[in-house]
Amino acid sequence: MAQKLRELIRQHYEMLAYLFFGGLATLLNIVLYLIFKALFGYEAANSWGNVLDNILCILFAYFTNRTWVFLSKTHGAEAISEFVKFVTCRLGTLVLDAAVMFVGGNLLGPALIPQEWLGLWGFGVKVFSNVLVVIFNYVFSKLIIFKSKHEDPPA
């Protein structure tokens, strides 16, 4: 049984590691959103606070994706190229996240949701946005960023 589990983990290592570290990055993103909302208010958390928490999460995600998910071993100019691709793709999903948060949180929320439910609505929009972002980020990471020169997962 343990051997079978080990083999399953080895076969699906990349996806499992991505889900784990992507989950941590998502949790970090949501915690930072809640902190910014508590400190600076609803609209700030959905605008500049959202951009700042995305930047922090991009740096966290690059390190974890490179080191533990895709097991990249690039160096020098190739590693710099990898980082630039990662940041570029993540900036694209930051724009997606910012648009979802602005439209869903700042435009639709106040227009459709009673004030006492606005905080819960904003949290729900943030979770929805994170689901979209995680899917796009995995596709970009797998097909564009870390597509070469990584080693086999641990046994």
Give the pLDDT confidence of 143-152 residue by residue, as tens digits. Answer: 999 976 555 6
Could you read off the pLDDT of 109-139 as tens digits, one per residue? 999 999 999 999 999 998 999 889 889 999 9
The span from the CA of 16 to the CA of 82, in Å, is 22
Query: What string of DSSP letters covers 100-126?
Result: HIIIIIIIIHHHHS-GGGHHHHHHHHH
Query: What string of DSSP letters covers 60-99?
Result: HHHHHIIIIIS-B---HHHHHHHHHHHHHHHHHHHHHHHH
Cβ atoms of 134 and 22 within 8 Å: the answer is: yes
Domain boundaries defined on the chain: 2-145
Mean pLDDT over residues 89-106, rounded? 93
pLDDT value at position 148? 62
The span from the CA of 33 to the CA of 127, in Å, is 11
Q: What is the DSSP letter of 46?
A: T
pLDDT value at position 46? 85
Lookup result for tokens 């648009």:
99
